Amino acid sequence: MKVMKRLFSRLRRRSGAKNTRVSHDDETDLLQGVVGESLLLTNAFFVGPPVSLTDLLDALREGCIMTPCTNIQVERSFLDCLSVTEQFLFWNVLGKSRQIKRVSLVGIDPLPTHVLATLLQSPILVELELSHVRLVGDLKVLRGDALASLCTIHLWNVDVATTSGTTASQPQQNDFVKLIMNLPQLHELALGDGFAFDGPQITAICNALSRPCHPLKSLRLMGASSNHNNHYFSHGYHVTQALDDQASVALATMLQTNRSLQSLELSNLQIGLVPLANALRQDNRTLCQFHVFQVHLFCRQDTTVEETNALVEMLRDNPVLTSCLLPTCSTRSEMDFYLQLNRHGLRDIQVDVNRSRYTVVELLAAENDNNVNNNGNKLSLDCIYHVLRDNPTLMNV
Compute CA distances 219 → 29, 96, 105, 144, 194, whole Å. 39, 29, 21, 23, 16
CA–centroid distance for 300 within its chain = 22
Is the domain of 111 the same as that of 194? yes
Count of structural domains, the chain: 2
Give pLDDT tens digits for 319-366.
999 999 887 777 788 888 889 889 888 877 767 666 777 787 777 777
Give pLDDT tens digits for 24-65.
333 333 343 334 577 889 888 777 665 678 878 887 777 655
Cβ proximity of 223 and 177 under 8 Å: no
Residue 50 covered by a domain: yes
Residue 4 covered by a domain: no
Q: Which CATH number do you get for residue 154?
A: 3.80.10.10
Cβ proximity of 214 and 184 under 8 Å: no
Is the domain of 381 the same as that of 321? no
Is the domain of 230 the same as that of 153? yes
* Domain enclosing residue 391, as ranges: 353-397
Please tell me the predicted confidence (pLDDT) of residue 363: 76
Is the domain of 287 the same as that of 372? no
Alpha-carbon distance of 280 to 88, in angstroms, equals: 49
Q: Which residues are CB-neighbours of 186 under 8 A, at least 6 positions away?
A: 150, 151, 152, 153, 180, 215, 216
Backbone angles phi, psi at 167, to 5 degrees: -60, 135
Is the domain of 219 the same as that of 257? yes
Alpha-carbon distance of 284 to 3, in angstroms, equals: 58
**Which of 319, 337, 352 delimits the end of a domain?**
352
Cβ proximity of 41 and 15 under 8 Å: no
Please tell me the predicted confidence (pLDDT) of residue 296: 63
Is the domain of 198 the same as that of 209? yes
pLDDT less than 70: residues of the chain: 1-36, 48-51, 63-68, 144, 162-169, 225-239, 296-301, 350, 352-354, 368-379, 395-397
Is the domain of 262 the same as that of 153? yes
Cβ proximity of 216 and 258 under 8 Å: no
Is the domain of 160 the same as that of 67? yes
Is the domain of 195 the same as that of 219? yes
Residue 348 covered by a domain: yes
